[in-house]
């Protein structure tokens, strides 16, 4: 199986190769096979990317928003036309099953292009009357933005970052995760085919050092990172040296609270989606499932039954419901957390081992019950198919325990009592919340975290704030009244 791109980078409207950069092997996680090799960006590639973005951005900022929007809509149409092939590539890059990549990854990226195409021409300033004089405001692009992606949703992340950036008149240099470098290159080629001027969306490959070189370049006005909290802290600090704008979409350890009046079937389904979709490699997952004691036994029984039926297998077979983890490193990390869960006394309900397929980085869907707040698996982000179920008695108690973490990305509540649902949501310290649903992230809704889970928001009208800045213009209508 091969998925070798035409070159490692896409810069200034064309594929670009520079073999002087260190090679990075792209591995298909279902087999361990090397499907492509790309080279890290050299200083020359980074320079070409930033220089062409800076050059192209000035002219792009001067175009009418409706003209920018037309190009983004065309690109969205191309993505939808090519979705089957793009989904297959996403599956090879990440190991996620086609059953998911066909409906979730590029389709959600295309939604972002359509949404921000529609939004851009409606973005206006305001007029502030001051009697004789007045102020008007303009919402202007920031300039050259850097996007840095994680490996779990590589193409969706590239779309979610580039769509608002481009729609509002910015350019973007994007660095995918070294683990999943393929999808963003396809997006760059599609943008050019759709009519985007060269240089406005460049893709350069590399590990953290390439990201760090981009973040500290004086031409860069904004950095948007999706990644872990430790990387976020480093990138935020580097961006701060140049007083750059940032969006930080970081990790989480989100609570999903199930009250005993909830529908067991719906709550179990949501908990499974919020822990096992993409083999658990989703930042907003509800990995601390708090279940009220009155419903606990029924909840665990149905959860064990339904989890044991999940179909693991060849990600390219559309019947497969769960694929492997993204890498050998991630497999080791997740197996380590499972071992720690056992050692610290959590009760294994189902799963708990590497899945017995011949190859690939598969882990069984795993559920631990009787988890306590102090256990490692209840405190640290695992990023694998490992659910921790904790018991609780009262609303007050569960709210305090749910908030007792430095993370604040997401939270969910299942209950038939809607007054309680809104009350609990009001008390939860999290940026993205659900009531009687979990992990649905439509592009219309702002997405992002509180506390250490991030700064800024992606998607929705909120993203406009993070890819533009206000210019305030005072207009003097009379003579200047100077005292000297
Ligand atoms: P990492 O934090 O390891 O890496 C994120 C990106 O930053 C990668 O492209 C990485 O490059 C790059 N990078 C690493 N060091 C630096 C640096 N010093 N300067 C600039 N860039 C750098 O995250 P993972 O890729 O392992 O992704 C998993 C994490 O992402 C999880 O913690 C998850 O919660 C989070 N995540 C958050 C989401 C959200 O929206 N809130 C969504 C999805 C994931 P390289 O990998 O090549 O080293």
The predicted-structure confidence for 51-87, as pLDDT tens digits, reads as follows 999 999 999 999 999 999 999 999 999 999 999 999 9
As given in the structure block, the two tokens for residue 229 are 């909290």
Q: What percent of the chain has pLDDT over 90?
A: 99
Q: Which residues, including other chains, have CB under 8 Å from residue 414's CB and lie 6 or more apart?
A: 256, 257, 258, 259, 262, 263, 266, 267, 270, 436
User: pLDDT over 70 for what percent of the chain?
Assistant: 100
Query: Which residues have CB under 8 Å from 243's CB, separation 6+?
Result: none
Helix H, strand E, coil C: the string for 316-365 is CCCCCCECCCCCHHHHHHHHHHHHHHHHCCCEEEECCCECCCCCCCCECC
Q: What is the mean pLDDT of residues 301-306?
A: 98
Q: List, for residues 93-130, the tens digit of each pLDDT value.
A: 999 999 999 999 999 999 999 999 999 999 999 999 99
Q: Which atom of ligand 1 is nearest to the CA of 215?
A: 20
The residue nearest atom 13 of ligand 1, judged by CA position, is 208
pLDDT tens column, 419-455? 999 999 999 999 999 999 999 999 999 999 999 999 9
Q: Which residues line ligand 1 (CB under 6 A)?
A: 148-152, 175, 177-179, 207-208, 211-212, 215, 225-228, 231, 234-235, 249-252, 283, 381, 383, 409, 449, 454
**pLDDT tens-digit map of 389-422:** 999 999 999 999 999 999 999 999 999 999 999 9
Residues with catalytic roles:
161, 249, 283, 458
Q: CB-hemisphere CA count at 13 Å for 25?
A: 9
Tell the residue nearest (CA) to atom 22 of ligand 1. Answer: 208
What is this structure's pTM? 0.97
Q: Residue 1's pLDDT band (boundaries 50, 70, 90)?
A: confident
């Amino acid at each position: 199986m091969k998925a070798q791109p035409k070159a490692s980078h896409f810069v200034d409207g064309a594929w670009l190769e520079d073999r002087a950069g260190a090679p990075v092997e792209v591995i298909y996680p279902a087999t361990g096979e090397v499907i492509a090799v790309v080279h890290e960006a050299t200083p020359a590639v980074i320079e070409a990317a930033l220089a062409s973005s800076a050059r192209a951005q000035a002219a792009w900022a001067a175009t009418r928003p409706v003209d920018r929007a037309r190009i983004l809509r065309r690109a969205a149409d191309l993505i939808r036309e090519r979705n089957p092939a793009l989904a297959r590539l996403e599956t090879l890059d990440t190991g996620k099953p086609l059953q998911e990549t066909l409906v979730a990854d590029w389709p959600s990226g295309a939604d972002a292009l359509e949404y921000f195409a529609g939004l851009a021409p409606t973005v206006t300033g305001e007029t502030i009357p001051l009697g004789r004089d007045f102020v008007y405001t303009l919402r202007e692009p920031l300039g050259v933005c850097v996007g840095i992606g994680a490996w779990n949703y590589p193409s969706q992340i590239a779309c979610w970052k580039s769509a608002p950036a481009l729609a509002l008149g910015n350019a973007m240099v994007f660095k995918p995760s070294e683990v999943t470098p393929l999808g963003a290159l396809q997006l760059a080629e599609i943008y050019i085919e759709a009519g985007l001027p060269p240089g406005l969306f460049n893709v350069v490959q590399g590990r953290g050092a390439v990201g760090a070189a981009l973040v500290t370049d004086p031409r860069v006005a904004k950095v948007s990172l999706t990644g872990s909290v430790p990387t976020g802290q480093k990138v935020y600090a580097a961006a701060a040296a140049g007083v750059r704008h940032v969006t930080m979409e970081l990790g989480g350890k989100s609570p999903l609270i199930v009250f005993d009046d909830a529908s067991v079937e719906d709550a179990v389904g949501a908990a499974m989606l919020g822990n096992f979709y993409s083999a658990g490699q989703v930042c907003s997952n509800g990995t601390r499932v708090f279940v009220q004691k009155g419903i606990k036994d029924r909840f665990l029984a149905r959860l064990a039954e339904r989890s044991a039926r999940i179909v693991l297998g060849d990600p390219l077979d559309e019947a497969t419901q769960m694929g492997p983890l993204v890498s050998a490193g991630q497999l080791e990390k997740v197996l380590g957390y499972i071992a720690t869960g056992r050692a610290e006394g959590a009760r294994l309900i189902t799963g708990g081992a590497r899945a017995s397929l011949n190859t690939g980085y598969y882990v069984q869907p795993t559920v631990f019950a009787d988890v306590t707040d102090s256990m490692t698996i209840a405190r640290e982000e695992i990023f694998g198919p490992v659910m921790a179920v904790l018991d609780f008695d009262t609303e007050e108690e569960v709210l305090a325990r749910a908030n007792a973490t430095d993370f604040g990305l997401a939270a969910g509540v299942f209950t038939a009592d809607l007054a309680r649902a809104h009350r609990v949501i009001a008390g939860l310290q999290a940026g993205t919340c659900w009531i009687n649903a979990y992990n649905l992230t439509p592009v219309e809704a702002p997405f992002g975290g509180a506390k250490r889970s991030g700064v800024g928001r992606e998607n929705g009208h909120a993203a406009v704030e993070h890819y533009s800045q206000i210019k305030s213009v005072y207009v003097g209508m009379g003579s200047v009244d100077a005292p000297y």
